[in-house]
Structure 1
Amino acid sequence: MTRYTELAERFGTPAYVYDLGRVAAAKRDLFAALPEELHLFYAAKANPHPELVREMCGGEGRGCRPEISSVGELAAVLEAGADPADVLYTGPGKTEEELAEALTHGVRLFSVESPGDLRRVGAVADRLGVIADCLLRVNSASATASTSIRMTGVPSQFGFDSETLPALRDELVGVAGTRVAGAHFFPLSNAKDEASLIAEFRHTIGVAAQLQEELGIPFRFLDIGGGFAAPYAVAGERPVYGTLRAALAESLDAHFPGWRTGAPRVACESGRYLVGDSGTLLVGVVNLKESRGRRFAIVDGGINTFGGMSGLGRILPVSVEPHGTDAPPEQIASLVGPLCTPGDILGRDIKLPALAPGDVVAVPNAGAYGPTASLLMFLGRPAPVEVVVRGDEVLSASRIQHTRGYEYGRGTR
């Protein structure tokens, strides 16, 4: 019996297993790849489980700062013990209610996407008698590296078009309740290799320096984004970046000579790289069938369990590791979930062992974009169990609870 079959028997399936030892290792590797003066934001959307956030922001070694995009993520990072003063609040649709809650809890750093977003932050901050430091998120007119997800250089709900910012300068610096503190870039996700990542960072730093000069606003804070790669739902190892530290330092020295002493403070951000390989998804085989010459292995967790990115077409096909069977891969079949929709597919025509009902299969590198990125409410099935371990020690097991049914109110005539 393997460790995963033991956990599946103990807690049931579907289940996620998160190893905090792997979180600590990823954090250590990424900090080692960056100049020691840089801050590192953890994008809570990748996995907001409080125990993972606690390991990320505290734990061994240096700690990350939380980057959030909702009051739900704010609650998670506060439960994990994060300092609200360390939080960066991002997102294009921040409402006044959300802003009031964040500011009341002590969040003071916001990424703003447009003049209207800046005014909204300012109105709430001014009403509460505080000042919000705002980073202008920049949608650069150009980019360099190729990537699976391009976040800049195209029309977007994210960020100010870089070519429009100089003309907006006076409008942006005069908003009550706010202070323009610097700029925020996030040009790409999942760079194809280290050379591409370095090229994109160099481009971003150059654009930021030019923008600072055009605006005439000394940046106190500069977030240059991320793009760190990691395998997702397939076997493989995340890269270790050996030349990034020197390349970043060289570029920052050239464009922002005071960065080593905090003028400006510089940050990167990451999500999947930091938590992706900490997680394994365990699903149980429910049924096997053939239909018009194709095989299907039906498991008890589908897009309701691991579906956020699958629904966007970004993870097909997954790879699986068998547990509870010694049979080698010997057939091609589709791995499908239990939902009554043909879209409930985790892997289409992939290599699978000779499975039987009751077997457990594991999806590796599944620590990011799991339950909270999935269709948890669809068909009212329970959320997967989330088991947190450190090595062989089980630290906790929990399940996200969602309300079943509806609360009806009386209408008025």
Structure 2
Amino acid sequence: MDVEVGETTTRTALPETRWETPAYLYDLAAVSDAHRRLVGSLPGPATLLYSLKANPHPAVLGRLAALGCHAEVSSPGELRAALQAGFPADGALYTGPGKRDEDVAGALAAGVRQFSVDSPHALDQLDRLGRAAGTRVRALLRVNPPVPPAGAGLAMTGGPSQFGADLAWVLERPELFADREHAELAGLHLYMGSNLTRVDALLAVFRYGLDVVRRIEKALDRRLPVIDLGGGFGAPYAVPGALPRFDALRSRLDALLEEGLPGWPDGERRVVFESGRYLTAGCGRLLTRVLDVKRSQGRRVVVLDTGVNHLGGMSGLRKEDRIEPRFQCGDDPHASAVPDGTIVAGPLCHPLDVWTRDARLPDVAVGDLLTVPNVGAYGLHAGLALFHCHPMPLEVVLDGEREVARGRYVLGRERSPR
């Protein structure tokens, strides 16, 4: 059986029939490969954060922590998982457009000192809780420009939004975003787009972000030490394919930073990038079996033992594009057929549990094994796993050809290990 890992095709003797389904398989060798590729595409002095929302499995987190990533988290559960996996608390960035007092206080008690904020109220909250904890807290102000940059993919800015303070607000009332006694405005957080697969598109987004930095620093009349330019590094999702290459990015990004951040790299500024999708997308695949095959009003309908509860549920919230998986079948991962109007559905008692209405799928029978590739990011944890209370899928961790872990995990806590 051939399994795509990054750009190459490697051979594995592991028979996928050895695991019950549905099952997610994660390959740590692919995580290491993706990390090497991305770090090699970024300026040497830059800091890379891993966004836990992409995949918080403890083995995946442990590998990325060991490789030197820092953590970007947005909930107590993600923070707990990151710390258990070995990410340093003082290197973490705690994000999210709204944070409960008890969650911020808990993060401070755990050693987190850097938070993304979206408003003056959030700065006041950090100041108040930092005072109570007897510590000074660093804040990165997330900014919402009036329009998204061209080619931003899934835009995370522009228009009314819970994310960030409007750029015009910051420019008109900079005094609202000044340092507090226990909360220092240490930098800016500028995540503006997602799933970009071309170097030119990434550079356009980063150039746009650096222009926002220039305008805000002029309004504040100060240079900010931390500039988080976000990420947006794209990868295939639920279809075969290799990670995009960003070989030309490093030299062009170096030049862009030297132009946009005078004096960089001078040791006084830190530039930060974030990635979840690129680092983990290619490490995962989902195994599923056919439960039923029938015809309905002239259309073939294939029902699987997994559906939007385990993959693609967030597409309904537009977190992802509507999922249109291309399946790999049996022992031949390249077996496929032209779209023939086949409906592929899951086992939920709900009409929206449909992955696609125009599948690329050859003849299949009840019991056949199918594989959805490239779902190591935004897989199980972007599903609707609690809906209808079906069992959680098995999660199997490989390191190349070697199985290293097997069990069911939720937010860093193992359940039903085997």
**How far is the alpha carbon of 1:316 from its aligned partner?**
2.5
Deviation, 1:236, is: 1.4
Is the 1:182–1:219 contact (alpha carbons within 8 Å) kept by the matching residues of 2?
yes
Distance 1:191 1:214, change over 3 A: same
8 Å CA contact 1:304–1:376 kept in 2: the answer is yes
**Match among 333, 346, 355 for residue 364 of structure 2:** 355
Matched, 1:132 2:137: yes
Alpha carbons 2:197, 2:235 under 8 Å: kept: no
Q: CA RMSD in A?
A: 2.1
Q: CA 1:273–1:395 in structure 2 vs 1: closer, same or farther (change >3 Å)?
A: same
Q: Tell me by how many angstroms 1:2 deviates.
A: 8.0
Letter of the structure 1 residue corresponding to residue 209 of structure 2: T
Matched with 1:10 is 18
Give the one of 394, 397, 400 matched to 2:409: 400
Give the aligned partner of residue 409 of structure 1: none
> C-alpha displacement at 1:386, in angstroms?
0.9
Query: Which residue identity lines up with residue 254 of structure 1 in the other structure?
Result: E
Residue 191 (structure 1) aligns with = 196
Deviations 1:175-225 (A, max 9, x none): 332000010101111125221111111121122122112212321111011
Instruction: Deviation per CA, 1:230-280: give whole Å up to 9, x if none.
Output: 111111122111221122111211122332133210011111111001100
- In the other structure, the counterpart of 2:327 is 320
| Cα contact 2:140–2:188 (8 A) shared by 1 | yes
**Counterpart mapping for 1:46-61 below 5 A:** 46-59=54-67
- Partners of 1:6 and 1:393 lie apart in 2 by 8
Give the equivalent residue in structure 1 for 2:151.
Answer: 146
TM-score, with normalisation over the residues of structure 1?
Answer: 0.92
Q: How many residues align?
A: 400
What is aligned with 1:408? none
1:117 corresponding residue in structure 2 = 122
1:345 to 336, 343, 354: 354
Gaps of 5+ in 1: 404-413
Equivalence for 1:64: 69
What residue identity is the alignment partner of 1:370? Answer: G
What's the counterpart of residue 95 of structure 2?
Answer: 90
Contact 2:300 2:341 in 1 (8 A): yes
Show CA shifts across 1:94-134 (max 9, x none).
Answer: 11011011000000010101111221222111111111100
Asked if the contact 2:397/2:406 (under 8 Å) is kept, the reply is yes
Q: 1:229 to 1:174 in 2, by over 3 A?
A: closer
Contact 2:152-2:205 at 8 Å conserved across structures? no
Secondary structure at 2:195 match in 1: strand
What percent of counterpart residues are identical? 40
Aligned-partner Cα distance in 1 for 2:401–2:197: 33
1:338-392 per-position Cα deviation (integer Å, ceiling 9, x unaligned) = 0000111122221101111111100011001111111111111111111110111
Residue 266 of structure 1 corresponds to 271
Q: What TM-score do the two structures reach when normalised by structure 2?
A: 0.91
Provide the secondary structure at the position in 1 that maps to 2:124: helix
Tell me the distance in 1 between the aligned counterparts of 2:264 and 2:65: 23
Three-state SS of the structure 1 residue aligned to 2:323 is: coil
CA contact (8 A) 1:283 1:301 kept: yes
Q: Note the alpha carbon deviations across 1:24-55, whole angstroms, 9 max, x for none.
A: 11111111111101111111100011111111
Shift of 1:154: 1.4
Q: State the Cα distance separating 1:7 from its structure 2 match.
A: 5.5
5+ unaligned residues in a row in structure 2: which ranges? 4-11, 414-418
With 67-76 and 239-248 compared, the bigger mean Cα shift is at 239-248
Contact 1:308–1:369 (CA under 8 A) maintained in structure 2: no
What SS does the corresponding residue of 1:196 show, helix, strand or coil? helix
> In structure 1, what residue type is equivalent to 2:351?
P
Deviation at 1:401? Answer: 5.8
Look up the equivalent residue of 1:185 and give its one-letter code: L
Structure-2 separation of matches of 1:261 and 1:390: 39
- Contact 1:302–1:339 (CA under 8 A) maintained in structure 2: yes
Q: Give the superposition deviation at 1:284.
A: 0.8
Aligned to 2:45: 37
8 Å contact kept, 1:123–1:176:
no
The residue aligned with 1:107 is 112
Secondary structure of 1:150's counterpart equals coil
State the shift of 1:304 in Å.
0.9
Query: Amino acid of the residue matched to residue 30 of structure 2?
Result: R
